[in-house]
């Protein structure tokens, strides 16, 4: 357990608002660690375990703020490190091939965990409690080597020596598109079940009142480590603009030694069209809310474009978001985010 000082509690009003708007967060959210990273309150059973997790040299961690291209990068990195094993990629869920490190903290406590996962967990721990003993953390621990692990935790909640131990691929994406993508995700998935509209979501975003907020703190911690030899810093927009260029950077960073032709195959295998239609990289139907299922919005992998935000931001929302963008201060200044596809071939700072 973390000490009391490491946990920041929302005000009563904030907590009520969160519980009213996100039906999945019945127990409310708490802020953890120096940047007050918001997680469902049951996370306190796990946070120390995250910091003490034993990563090893052959691990690669895909660390991102939510909705920044994690799944795409996981599928790319897993495929590159597993000899382009397209068959396993199709047959085995990405969640098993590349586990979600902190998912024990995120899933809705009042919902059931997949029975097959529970049965396996109980066969190893007959007296254990899959909801409080870290079933998903154990999946990460037991993932076959070489492990490719997904996390949205900021660096301050990961083991302090993580970059001395293994490689980390950090992916950043412009916050306007992240906000739109996250709104859809939080609405459609039952772990969160957001019931507000987009302006409500922007309002919560601008006050850092949503799962795994805040955006700037997360990015600031990663930027501070950008020059580390074991950190590769990627941008979603750069991947969209010229995937082969970014795959070559990954090939060098990971030491995978793939040929140009093999990288082309990875690019095809991880195109949005292919990934949208591959069940193994999409959540099962019961991960979505009943409403999302009825409305056919089971779109964890959605549009995959740069600049969809223009379809959502009214002038009023734009003014509000602009004020929030300015709170990014130095961090925002250090990165020139690309907000439009046609901007994506300009040189980045
Ligand atoms: S999550 O839930 O936080 O892990 O989401 P994450 O995977 O980070 O981000 C989801 C967004 O990435 C888009 N996506 C892709 N874009 C391009 N190519 C591929 N192959 C791809 N796969 C996923 C996905 O559609 C989400 O963005 P939006 O804007 O919602 O479409």
DSSP conformation letters of 306-329:
S-GGGGT--HHHHHHHHHHHHTTH
Average pLDDT over residues 120-146: 91
Average pLDDT over residues 23-29: 94
Cα 275 to Cα 127: distance, rounded to the nearest angstrom: 39
Distance 66 CA to ligand 1 centre (A): 9
CA-to-CA separations, 323 to 173, 259, 328, in angstroms, rounded: 19, 46, 9
DSSP β-bridge partners for residue 38:
31
Distance 182 CA to ligand 1 centre (A): 10
The yes-or-no verdict on residue 164 having pLDDT over 50 is yes
The predicted-structure confidence for 295-349, as pLDDT tens digits, reads as follows 999 899 999 999 999 999 999 999 999 999 999 999 999 998 999 997 655 545 4
CA-to-CA separations, 115 to 107, 122, 188, 219, 229, in angstroms, rounded: 14, 10, 22, 36, 41
Q: Is the CB of 267 under 6 A from ligand 1?
A: no
8 DSSP 8-state letter: E
Cα 185 to Cα 288: distance, rounded to the nearest angstrom: 9
Average pLDDT over residues 285-298: 92
Q: Is the CB of 272 under 6 A from ligand 1?
A: yes
* Residue 208 CB coordination number (10 Å): 19
The yes-or-no verdict on residue 201 having pLDDT over 60 is yes
Q: Which of 260, 267, 203, 275 is nearest to 240 (CA)?
A: 267
Q: Where are the domains of the chain?
A: 54-334
For residue 131, the Cα-to-chain-centroid distance in whole angstroms is: 21
Cα 301 to Cα 316: distance, rounded to the nearest angstrom: 28
Please give the number of the atom of ligand 1 that sits closest to the Cα of 72.
22
Cα 98 to Cα 139: distance, rounded to the nearest angstrom: 9
Q: Look-up: residue for tokens 């409500």?
A: 200
What's the pLDDT score for residue 344?
A: 57
Q: Is the CB of 67 under 6 A from ligand 1?
A: yes
What's the pLDDT score for residue 349?
A: 44
The predicted-structure confidence for 62-110, as pLDDT tens digits, reads as follows 999 999 999 999 999 999 999 999 999 999 999 999 999 999 999 877 7
The predicted-structure confidence for 1-19, as pLDDT tens digits, reads as follows 455 559 999 999 999 999 9
Residue 228 annotated in active site: no
Q: Is the CB of 270 under 6 A from ligand 1?
A: yes
Average pLDDT over residues 121-132: 90
**Whether 275 contacts 78, CB under 8 Å:** no
Cα 79 to Cα 18: distance, rounded to the nearest angstrom: 38
Q: Look-up: residue for tokens 């999945």?
A: 24
Cα 262 to Cα 256: distance, rounded to the nearest angstrom: 11
Q: Is the CB of 122 under 6 A from ligand 1?
A: no
Task: Give the DSSP H or E segment for 31.
Answer: strand 29-32
Cα 199 to Cα 211: distance, rounded to the nearest angstrom: 17
Whose C-alpha lies nearest to ligand 1, atom 30? 181
What's the pLDDT score for residue 300?
A: 96
Q: Write the class of the CATH domain 54-334.
A: alpha beta
- The pLDDT-based confidence of 119 (bands split at 50, 70, 90) is confident
What's the pLDDT score for residue 2?
A: 54
Q: What is the layout of strands, in order, in the sheet containing 37-40?
A: 7-9, 29-32, 37-40
What's the pLDDT score for residue 347?
A: 45
The predicted-structure confidence for 213-270, as pLDDT tens digits, reads as follows 999 999 999 999 999 999 999 999 999 999 999 999 999 999 999 999 999 999 999 9
Task: Give the DSSP H or E segment for 52.
Answer: helix 47-52
Distance 71 CA to ligand 1 centre (A): 6
Please give the number of the atom of ligand 1 that sits closest to the Cα of 66.
3
Cα 206 to Cα 223: distance, rounded to the nearest angstrom: 21
Whose C-alpha lies nearest to ligand 1, atom 19? 272
Sign, Cα dihedral of 282, 285, 286, 287:
positive
The yes-or-no verdict on residue 118 having pLDDT over 90 is no
Whose C-alpha lies nearest to ligand 1, atom 20? 272
What's the pLDDT score for residue 107?
A: 84
Q: Is the CB of 304 under 6 A from ligand 1?
A: yes
Strands 37-40 and 29-32, bridge-based pairing: antiparallel
Token output for 196: 């507000």
Q: What is the pTM of this model?
A: 0.96
Q: Look-up: residue for tokens 């772990």?
A: 191
């Amino acid at each position: 357990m973390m000490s009391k000082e490491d946990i920041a509690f929302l005000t009563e009003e904030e907590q009520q608002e969160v519980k009213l708007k996100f039906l999945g967060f019945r127990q409310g959210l708490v802020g953890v660690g120096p940047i007050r990273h918001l997680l469902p309150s049951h996370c306190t059973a796990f946070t120390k375990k995250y910091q003490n997790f034993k990563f090893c040299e052959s691990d690669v961690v895909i660390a991102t703020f939510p909705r920044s291209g994690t799944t795409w990068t996981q599928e790319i990195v897993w495929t590159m490190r597993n000899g382009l094993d397209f068959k396993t990629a199709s047959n085995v869920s990405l969640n098993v091939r590349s586990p979600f490190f902190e998912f024990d903290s995120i899933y809705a406590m009042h919902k059931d965990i997949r029975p097959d996962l529970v049965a396996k967990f109980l066969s190893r721990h007959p007296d254990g409690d899959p909801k409080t003993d870290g079933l998903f953390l154990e999946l990460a621990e037991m993932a076959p080597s070489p492990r490719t692990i997904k996390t949205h935790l900021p660096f301050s909640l990961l083991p302090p020596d993580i970059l001395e131990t293994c490689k980390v691929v950090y992916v950043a994406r412009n916050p306007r598109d992240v906000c739109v993508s996250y709104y859809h995700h939080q609405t459609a998935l039952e772990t969160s079940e957001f019931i507000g509209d987009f302006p409500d979501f922007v309002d919560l975003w601008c006050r850092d009142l949503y799962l795994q907020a805040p955006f700037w703190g997360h990015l600031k911690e990663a930027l501070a480590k950008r020059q580390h030899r074991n950190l590769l810093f990627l941008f979603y927009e750069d991947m969209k603009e010229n995937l082969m260029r970014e795959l070559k950077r990954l090939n060098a960073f990971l030491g995978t030694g793939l040929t140009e032709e093999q990288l082309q195959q990875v690019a095809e295998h991880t195109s949005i069209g292919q990934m949208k239609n591959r069940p193994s990289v999409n959540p099962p139907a019961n991960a979505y809310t009943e409403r999302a299922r009825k409305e056919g919005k089971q779109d964890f992998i959605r549009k995959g474009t740069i600049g969809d935000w223009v379809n959502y931001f009214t002038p009023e929302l734009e003014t509000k978001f602009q004020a929030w963008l300015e709170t990014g201060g130095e961090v925002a200044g250090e990165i020139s985010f690309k907000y439009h596809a046609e901007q994506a071939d300009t040189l980045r700072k």
